[in-house]
Amino acid sequence: MTALSEKNKIGIRFNGFRFLRFGFEQQSDIDTDEDFDIELGINIEVDKSAIVVKVLATFSRKNVDKIVAQIETASLFQIKGIEPSEEQEEPPKYPEGLLVTAISLAISTTRGAIIAKGCGSFLEHFLLPIVDPKTFLPKSDDRSKLIAEDKILD
């Protein structure tokens, strides 16, 4: 068995998180059994040494058909092990597994941040669902855009 050389290893490092938007309208008449639509949108931006995963979560009350919260976050990941050449203008094509890991970490971090920042509001009772991060990977023909969206019903 041949070991992978150090040159072939790609590393990912979580390098930052922030809220881009945290807007909600406090709801005093919500029952914790009430149904919500939670829509997640993912936007992936890549360059030669970093990936930024933006997560947009929209919470809608089903019984009144009203959006009551929109939260957007950005997670930054530094990439090591891909050495772009000077003449290369496009970012490298990252392996699918690396993108899935970044998406998964961004969604999980957003979920925890909403719990922490939404403490004391209705948001602490309506968590982002557990999702398959692969569903947010861009289609192979849309790979240049690196945008994926999915609607989650909770």
Which residue type occupies 95? P
- What's the pLDDT score for residue 29? 86
d(CA 121, CA 112): 14
pLDDT > 70 in the chain, percent: 79
Q: Which residue has the higher pLDDT, 49 or 10?
A: 49
d(CA 97, CA 133): 10
- What's the pLDDT score for residue 153? 37
DSSP state of 28: S
Residue 119, pLDDT > 80, answer: yes
Q: pTM here?
A: 0.80
* Mean pLDDT of all residues belonging to the chain: 83
Assigned CATH for 10-82+91-153: 3.10.420.10
Q: What are phi and psi of 140, to 5 degrees?
A: -60, -35
**Cα-based angle 109, 134, 126 (whole degrees, multiple of 5):** 40
CB 103 within 8 A of CB 42: yes
Mean pLDDT value across residues 128-152? 67
- What's the pLDDT score for residue 43? 96
Mean pLDDT value across residues 71-98? 80
d(CA 130, CA 152): 10
